[in-house]
Amino acid sequence: MSELYQKLATAILEGSSDKVPGLVQKALDQGLTPKDILDHGMVVGMNEVGARFKRGEMFVPEVLMSAEAMQAGLKVLRPHLASSGAKLIGKIVIGTVKGDLHDIGKNLVGMMCEGAGFEVIDLGFNVDPEKFVQAIKEHRPDIVGLSALLTTTMRAMGHTIKAIEEAGLRDQVKIMVGGAPVDAEFAQRIGADGYGSNAPAGAELAKRFVGAA
């Protein structure tokens, strides 16, 4: 039993998208609970990926391979998690702020968060502050992630946070920001709860917000 968890963790670590779904199915067939498969197998593997990336032993393309393997496993696991009433580790709404058409950084963070075991709702790019407010009301996420690449659009992050405050939703969510021109000091100034310097760091931060890291 623990051997299967170990195999799952290793397959995630190695980024084997082809192996993970089969292993998840095998675990389900053996009667392991979806929640245990997630926590003791898949998340263990992904945590090791995060640790190795931090130590400079894994590189971004390899981390993404592991995230993809995680996603492939979640695809099999998700219906079972839902029917067993167990939840993923958290829910995140992400989007690139108004006036900014840059999509890639935000997509990577979304992928990494999904890989870390979050449910991710992606609002896309050039997202109005009002749309973020609507999404919070509708999806009730734990975390909102704002992305911007341009020094000219990073101010829209502040506007978005203000709109969330004005809607009376600020204390319901943690807000994280990221993107090339953003730093920790800027994040603090506009009233965000945290800043991720790159995609894996963003996922790490999200895990800290929900007490999973």
Partner 1 sequence: MRTNYRVNSGIQFRMFSQDQLQELFESVLHVLQYTGLDVHHDEARDILKKAGAWVDGLRVCIPPYLVKRALEMAPRSFTLFARDGNPKHDIHIGPGRAYFGPGPTCPNFIDVDTLERRPYVKSDVPIVAKVVDALPNIDFCESLGTVSDVHHELGATYEFAGMFPNTSKPIVAWSYNWQDSADIHKIAITEAGGQEAFEKRPNYVHYCEPLSPLVSTFEAMDKLIFAARHRVPLVFTPCPISGGTAPVTSAGIIVQAAAESWMGLVVAQTIQPGLPFIMGGVLSAMDMNTMILSYGAPELALNMAGLTELAHYVGLPLWQTGGCTDSKVLDEQAAIEGSLSVFFSALSGGDLCHDVGYTESAMTGSVFQLVMMDEAIGYARRITRGIEVNEDTLAVEVIHKVGPNGHYLREPHTRRYFKSEFWYPTLCDRHNFEEWDMLGRTPMRQRVIDRVHDILASHQPSPIKPETEKVIREVLEAAEDRVKQAA
Does position 183 interact with partner 1 (CB under 8 A)? The reply is yes
What CA–CA distance (Å, rounded) separates 126 from 124?
7
Does position 114 interact with partner 1 (CB under 8 A)? The reply is no
194-196, strands of its sheet edge to edge:
118-122, 90-96, 143-147, 174-178, 194-196
Stretch that binds partner 1, among 26-34, 62-70, 137-145, 161-169 (CB under 8 A): 62-70
Of 79, 104, 138, 166, the one binding partner 1 by CB under 8 A: 104
Q: Please name which of 71, 133, 110 lies closest in space to residue 202, comparing C-alpha atoms.
A: 110
CB of 183 to partner 1, least distance (A): 7
Using CB under 8 A as the binding criterion, the count of chain residues that bind partner 1 stands at 15
CB of 95 to partner 1, least distance (A): 16
Considering beta carbons, is residue 125 or 132 the nearer one to partner 1? 125
Does position 123 interact with partner 1 (CB under 8 A)? The reply is no
DSSP string of 29-41, one letter each residue: HTT--HHHIIIII
Q: Which residues have C-beta within 8 Å of that of residue 66, sequence separation ≥ 6?
A: 12, 13, 14, 15, 45, 46, 49, 58, 115
Q: Which residues have C-beta within 8 Å of that of residue 70, sequence separation ≥ 6?
A: 12, 20, 42, 45, 46, 114, 115, 116, 117
Does position 65 interact with partner 1 (CB under 8 A)? The reply is yes
Q: Which residues have C-beta within 8 Å of that of residue 23, sequence separation ≥ 6?
A: 4, 7, 8, 11, 41, 73
Considering beta carbons, is residue 1 or 104 the nearer one to partner 1? 104
CB of 14 to partner 1, least distance (A): 12
Does position 11 interact with partner 1 (CB under 8 A)? The reply is no
Of 29, 55, 61, 168, the one binding partner 1 by CB under 8 A: 61
Of 103, 163, 191, 213, the one binding partner 1 by CB under 8 A: 103
Q: How many CA atoms lie within 13 A of 178 on its CB side?
A: 25
Does position 14 interact with partner 1 (CB under 8 A)? The reply is no
Given the rule CB under 8 A, which residues bind partner 1? 59-62, 64-65, 68, 101, 103-104, 107-108, 183-184, 197
